[in-house]
Amino acid sequence: EVQLVESGGGLVQPGGSLRLSCAASEFTLSSYWMTWVRQAPGKGLEWVAIINQDGSEKYYVDSVKGRIILSRDNAKNSLYFQLTSLRAEDTAVYYCARGGITRRDALDIWGQGTMVTVSS
């Protein structure tokens, strides 16, 4: 089954950092642009970041610029999301999602999400 599985969520202190992973199964990650979307508790979806197939192009929402590191290891079929200087407003379920072969593609496969809570 084609799927994405996120891991690495949990409780993090304000000012701390997080590193999330997203593992792809039954498809070749290296063929796709990949996106991270987050959803604060009881709120809507927020597009956060996108990375191209070889990691050479990345785009971010303003609220995470300067705090985010996106990377991928296509040999391991995995995607990584690092966020530093965490704030309460970063508390959310973080989803990785598959785009297409171009940057402008809808998100057709989503992971189940991993919850990140920023709190002391």
Partner 1 sequence: EIVLTQSPDTLSLSPGERATVSCRASQSVSTSYFAWYQQKPGQAPRLLIFGASSRATGIPDRFSGSGSGTDFTLTISRLEPEDFAIYYCQQYGSSPFTFGGGTKVEIK
Least Cβ distance, residue 14 to partner 1 (angstroms): 24
What character string, x for contact with partner 1 (CB under 8 A) and - otherwise, covers 25-44?
----------x-x------x
- Quote the tokens at residue 119: 């709190």
Tokens of 31: 């063929």
Min CB(58)–partner 1 separation in Å: 10
Q: What is the per-residue binding string for partner 1 in 101-120, x denoting contact by CB under 8 A?
A: --xxxxxx-xxxx-------
Does 18 help bind partner 1 (rule: CB under 8 A)? no
